[in-house]
Amino acid sequence: MVRGLIVGAVGFAAAFGVERLYASLAPDIARYERMREMSGQKPILQELMGKVVGSVADNGGTLADGAGGIVTGLVADVVRYARIRGM
């Protein structure tokens, strides 16, 4: 019973922390998605899911194969966002 209470409390604290993090980042995420839309790119979640499905469907590849492209794209987007924000 004590273990259940501890696990429940930790789970609640984690859920609360994630919700607060999402609430604080929601405006920036919305701005980022609008910037991707203006660039003609797909939404980030759709792109990530495509990478996951693509690497699972490709028996020879792994998820790590597509990770380099995702990281490179995110870095380029962050630099572009910072440049736009600085104007």
- At residue 59, the pLDDT reads 52
The encoded tokens of residue 2 equal 């004590």
Which residue, 72, 71, 81, 80, is CA-closest to 27? 81
Whether the full predicted model's pTM is greater than 0.95, yes or no, is no
Task: Say which range, 17-31, 36-50, 57-71, has the weakest mean pLDDT.
Answer: 57-71
DSSP 8-class letter at 39: T
Query: Which residues lie closer than 8 Å to 73 by C-beta, 6 or more apart?
Result: 47
Residue indicated by tokens 């998605």: 33
Mean pLDDT value across the chain: 79
> How many Å is the maximal CA-CA distance in the chain?
57
Confidence class for position 47, pLDDT limits 50, 70, 90? confident
Domain boundaries, the chain: 27-85
- Is residue 9's pLDDT more than 80? yes
